[in-house]
Amino acid sequence: MRFALAPGAALAGYRLETHETIGSTNALALERAAKGEAGPLWIVSPHQQAGRGRRGRAWATEPGNLAATLLIRPDVPLREAATLGFVAGLSLSDALNAVMPDEKRIAIGLDGGSVAGGGRFALKWPNDVLADGAKLSGILLESVVLASGAYALAIGIGVNVAHHPDDLPYPATSLRALGAKVDAAMLFLALSDAWMENIRLWADGRGLRDIRQKWLARAAGIGAEVAVRVDGAVLRGMFETIDEDCRFVIRLADGNTTSIAAGDVHFGAVASAGASPRAGD
């Protein structure tokens, strides 16, 4: 499979490294950074054997899917760079809509959450892309502190293009299952192009307000019942918005709101049930 960068990305100095099979694109990117690679560098493969998701979970990338990691050294504090996960989600959403422009406009939250207004592909806080309510993609940011005291950031994006797992506790899908005639190379070309537009909008964090508004327009589950697992506890309420720092804002039963910086979000049946969401969900 021949991967290529979008012309605008290449002109901006982005580079591309491809592998037919790889252990983990994120792991390799961080190794490159430790050895002096400054980026911006995309590391891409259609088959990842040791991929990882949030909180140490595995992420399967069967042959024909897309595993892509962008290695960069942002010129902002690491806390601000964490919002690049939202830039990545928007970029993937833009890319998906570009390669599937004529698809019906429907997107629902995971586990049957509420309708979102951003087309077939919806964004689930903090790092998932959904298609018709099922998980299509996950995004993982990892960083490494360098000898100089600076840091490098690996933005990993995994997309179910040709295959999706069927043994998960929540719905998952792939582009092939959705009837799309798109391969990993086509999607990556669109992704590398969409990234350029959204990273310019982010503007070293100065454009975070615009990123937030764009993300909210595609968010899954706003106004829906939600359960959020945070450090072993479960908070239940209604998903109200994301705040100025892109933290998840939940309105509790007593009417108060709280902002969550990290946690596992569950909509629909899981949120409504009395039992706590499983840690691995």
> Phi/psi of residue 255, each to 5°?
95, -15
Q: Tell the residue number behind the tokens 């599937």, with chain if given.
A: 100
pLDDT digits (tens, 9 = 90+) for 63-105: 899 999 999 999 999 999 999 999 999 999 999 999 986 654 4
State how far the Cα of 85 lies from the Cα of 267, in Å rounded to an integer: 21
Task: Classify strands 151-159 and 225-230 as parallel, antiparallel or unpaired.
Answer: unpaired
DSSP state of 54: G
State how far the Cα of 144 lies from the Cα of 151, in Å rounded to an integer: 6
109 versus 86: which is more confidently predicted?
86
State how far the Cα of 203 lies from the Cα of 257, in Å rounded to an integer: 30
pLDDT digits (tens, 9 = 90+) for 164-189: 888 766 788 999 998 888 999 999 99
Average pLDDT along the chain: 86
DSSP state of 111: T
Q: Which of 1-5, 30-34, 38-42, 108-112 has the lowest mean pLDDT?
A: 108-112
pLDDT digits (tens, 9 = 90+) for 220-241: 889 989 999 888 889 999 999 9
Closest CA to 256 of 238, 273, 271: 238
Let me know how long the chain is.
281
Secondary structure (3-state) at 41:
strand
**Half-sphere exposure at residue 178, Cβ-oriented, CA atoms within 13 angstroms:** 29
State how far the Cα of 136 lies from the Cα of 128, in Å rounded to an integer: 8
- Domain residues of the chain, as ranges? 7-216, 225-272
Same fold, 7-216 and 225-272: no
Q: Which amino acid is at 175?
A: L
Helix (H) or strand (E) holding 10: helix 7-11
Task: Classify strands 41-45 and 15-18 as parallel, antiparallel or unpaired.
Answer: parallel
Q: Tell me which of 3.90.950.10, 2.60.40.10, 2.30.30.100, 3.40.50.620 is the CATH number of domain 225-272.
A: 2.30.30.100
Q: Tell the residue number behind the tokens 């100095």, with chain if given.
A: 13
State how far the Cα of 238 lies from the Cα of 255, in Å rounded to an integer: 10
Residue 46 has pLDDT above 70, yes or no: yes
Q: Return the CATH fold of 7-216.
A: BirA Bifunctional Protein; domain 2 (3.30.930)
